[in-house]
């Protein structure tokens, strides 16, 4: 249940993700531009912390910063994901 879509046809944010009971779910319809594999799940927290678990690639991505608020948070996470997934190629 934690990793199953619990919001039906609804989507969240501009990436069009889904939600389970406790995790944001990255689906084949999500808009990540190669920054995450469908089937991955993620969650973020205060002060710009975020983790993503990618079972397909057997990865755990951890981003921990200590800033609040920051207009650059999304950019930091995006660049981190691009670098990690680029290193897999």
pLDDT in tens, 39-66: 999 998 888 788 999 999 999 999 988 8
13 within domain boundaries? no
4 within domain boundaries? no
Nearest to 56 by CA among 37, 35, 79: 37
10 within domain boundaries? no
12 within domain boundaries? no
9 within domain boundaries? no
Could you tell me if residue 31 is left (phi over 0), alpha (psi between -120 and 50 degrees) or otherwise beta? Answer: beta
pLDDT at 28 over 80: yes
Range of the domain at 36: 18-88
11 within domain boundaries? no
Domain count, the chain: 1
3 within domain boundaries? no
DSSP-based three-state secondary structure for 66: coil
50 within domain boundaries? yes
């Amino acid at each position: 249940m934690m990793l199953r879509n619990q919001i039906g046809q609804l989507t969240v944010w501009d990436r069009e993700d889904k939600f389970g009971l406790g995790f944001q779910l990255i689906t084949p319809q999500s808009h990540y531009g190669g920054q995450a594999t469908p089937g991955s799940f993620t969650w973020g927290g205060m002060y710009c912390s975020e983790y993503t678990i990618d079972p397909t690639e057997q990865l755990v991505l951890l981003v921990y910063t200590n800033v609040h608020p920051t207009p650059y948070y999304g950019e930091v996470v995006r660049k981190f994901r691009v670098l990690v997934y680029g290193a897999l190629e």
